[in-house]
Chain A
Amino acid sequence: MKRLFVKGNEAVAMAAIEAGCRYYFGYPITPQSDIPEYLSRELPHLNGEFIQAESEIASINMLLGASATGVRAMTSSSSPGISLKQEGISYMAGSELPGVIVNISRSGPGLGGIDASQSDYFQAVKGGGHGGYHIVVLAPSSVQEMYDLTMLAFDLADIYRMPAMVLADSVVGQMKEPLVPNKRPVADLPAKNWVVRGKGDGEQRVVKSLFLGDGELEAHNWKLHRKYQELKARECRWEAFQVDDADLLVAAFGSTARIAKTAITMAREEGLKVGLLRPITLFPFPEKAFLDATARTKKVLVIELNTGQMVEDVRLSVARDAEVGFYGRPPGAGSLPTPEELLEQIKRTIEV
């Protein structure tokens, strides 16, 4: 297999094409603009459509329309733009529409800055729009994962008929690494017998999220809830690095997990038994992996590039007698922690 040397954002765009996505709708925003730039160049040669929309709101609704016809389609943006897309994401979740949304997140709140940040965790995994729904959230920590998880996002979206988000940041989006452009995996995809197509002589089909009949909306929401339970049972993904003999378990996702891994390797060199549990699916959150790992390892240190978001899900997942500590910094210029800084925190946690 050939190896390429590409940016994380380019890997997302390449994976989308490999996954059969031919429709992209977006609006420029740093630090994700490589994605629309790449696709505006490539999609016209593939009988696809690229639209630079008037806003992120319009982009997500174009995605809604295209997805309703059954094609694979995507949009991408960064934090402030993802906020604008929340209305459409809620409607897509309510209408059970697949579709991939990529968030190369930046720091906030407000206009914030363009630095790497993990402060959109809550927004992504807790349902960023109204109505109490979830979407699939995947957190790549390498260029290879940007590629592989983007393809997985398309499959999970189609299988569960719901939006799927790739949540990364400018570190993973902007860095260049070797990439093996894998072929699209074979997935057992359900037939899309619900798409609007023009009814012909068949039955009318309606894609909607309005349910006004007695009991209709409650039944619909229970159906969505069962889907989320099914996701939790079947689709959790995580990486376990040196956890079997660990006295301390570090939990981190995305770019932060890479720095944590370096710190853990440094700790191991000093004879400290430290391991890493890295959630790859943020929703569904790998609750059982944390419960199992904390059956033995009773100390957990959660590290995030925010002031504490994923730590809440870790606390809900671990064994009752496990202690969960947190180290993080709010986003902003120069906020990326160094491996030495994290090693210091690891040592401090072990000593307590």
Chain B
Amino acid sequence: MQQVFKRPISLKDVQTHFCPGCHHGTIHRLVAEAMDEFGVQGRTIGVASVGCSVFLYGYFDIDVVEAPHGRAAAVATGVKRARPDSFVFTYQGDGDLAAIGTAEIIHAANRGEDITVVFVNNTTYGMTGGQMAPTTLVGQKTSTSPYGRNQHKDGAPIRMAELLAQLEGVAFSARVAVNSPRNIIDAKRQFKKAFRYQVEGKGFSFIEALSACPTNWGMNALAANERVGTEMADYFRLGVFKNTDNL
């Protein structure tokens, strides 16, 4: 019998701690598939951030450095400069990358560091219990925006993929979603592109994945999936915002 589906070799054979309906597991798989595709597992150094994704060293079978909250892009810069032959990626949530780590991500991108940044946007701080994030949608209720995000007080959610695409140092910037088979297939394609930029030494690549957080959104998995494709994708448009080499 022909095997048509299996665990990527870059992923460990373990259960994750993620909540039911969370998209981190799918996004982990896409990262692992991209590593497998280019055969870079053995020379990969991952940089874990603070939040639900901190345990990625428990799931990916690769060397990992754990960064302080928001500093993953700076840590990755140090790793890559010291070991230019390694494949370096960060995996960061929206609070980590778009709030406390804004300076680090913008400047790593602007320097055109030869790294890949995986940005998981679920419009909330998942690990700490669902507080307002820089990506929380206007009107969205969270544990620290109980009356809904107020644009005049809290600002509007930040579109990181578009923002970073403006910088000269960025080679590739895209936003994907993993809420449907069709979106997953497209996301897989974009992850490969993002990784290919670094494999070919072509500069900074950024991939934002819209992700569901049913637990903190107070929804079941199906409703959360639905929200990603509607409310979220309406504001955070899916697409490729920069692709310098047309990979």
Closest A residue to B78 by CB, please name it.
A65
Contact (Cβ within 8 A) A206 B57: yes
Binds A, one of B67-75, B116-124, B153-161, B234-242: B67-75
Interface residue? B81 (CB, 8 A): yes
Chain B residues bordering chain A, tally (CB within 8 A)? 36
Q: Contacts of A205 on B, CB cut-off 8 Å?
A: 63-64
B-side contacts of A204, CB under 8 Å: 57, 61-64
Which residues from chain A contact B43 at a C-beta distance below 8 Å?
198, 200
CB–CB B65/A207 < 8 A: yes
Pick the contact of B74 from A58, A196, A207 — CB < 8 Å? A58
Among A63, A199, A209, which residue has its beta carbon within 8 angstroms of that of B42? A199
**Residue among B42, B81, B103, B104 with most chain A CB within 10 A:** B81
Q: Which residue of A lies closest to B44 (CB)?
A: A198
B64 touches A23 (CB 8 A): no
How far does the Cβ of B119 sit from chain A's closest Cβ, in whole Å?
18
By a CB distance below 8 angstroms, the chain B residues around A197 are 45, 63, 83, 86
Known contacts A23-B81, A65-B47, A206-B57; decide if A196 and B76 are in contact (CB<8 Å): no
**Which residues of chain A are near B65, meaning CB under 8 Å?**
64-65, 68, 196, 206-208
Q: How far is the CB of A211 from chain B (nearest CB, A)?
A: 11
Q: A206 contacts B103, CB within 8 Å?
A: no
Residues of A within 8 A of B41 (CB): 199
Check if B62 sits within 8 Å of A199, measured CB to CB: yes
Chain B hits for A200, CB < 8 A: 42-43
Q: What is the distance, in angstroms, from A57's C-beta to the closest C-beta of chain B?
A: 7
Write out, one digit per residue, whether chain A residues 42-64 have a CB within 8 A of any chain B CB (1) or not (0). Answer: 00000001010111011101111
Report the minimum CB–CB distance from A324 to chain B (whole Å): 39
Kindly name the residue among A23, A54, A62, A209 whose own CB sees the greatest number of chain B CB atoms within 10 A: A62
Q: Are A55 and B103 in contact (CB under 8 A)?
A: yes
Q: Mark B73-94, 1 if CB is under 8 A from A, else 0.
A: 0111111111101110000000
Q: Does residue B48 face the partner (Cβ distance < 8 Å to A)?
A: yes
- B54: interface (CB < 8 Å): yes
Contacts of B62 in A (CB 8 A): 198-199, 204
Q: Which residues of B contact A65 (CB under 8 A)?
A: 47, 65, 67, 74-80, 82
User: Does B141 interact with chain A (Cβ within 8 Å)?
Assistant: no
Given the interface pairs A58-B74, A61-B67, A206-B57, the reply to whether A53 lies near B79 with Cβ below 8 Å is no
- Judged by a CB distance under 8 angstroms, whether A18 is at the interface is no
Q: Is B36 an interface residue (CB 8 A)?
A: no
With A91-B68, A198-B45, A206-B57 in contact, is A68–B79 under 8 Å at CB?
yes
Q: Given the complex of chains A and B, what is the CA–CA distance between A70 and B107 in angstroms? A: 24
Shortest Cβ gap from B140 to chain A (Å): 29
B contact residues around A59 at 8 Å (CB): 74
Offer 17 A-B interface pairs, CB within 8 angstroms, sorted by A.
A51-B111, A54-B106, A57-B74, A58-B104, A61-B71, A61-B104, A62-B74, A62-B77, A62-B78, A65-B65, A65-B67, A68-B79, A197-B83, A204-B62, A205-B63, A208-B48, A208-B65
Which residues from chain B sit less than 8 Å from chain A, CB to CB? 41-45, 47-48, 54, 57, 61-68, 71, 74-83, 85-87, 103-104, 106-107, 111
Chain A residues close to B by CB (< 8 Å): 23, 25, 49, 51, 53-55, 57-59, 61-71, 73, 87-88, 91, 95, 196-201, 204-210
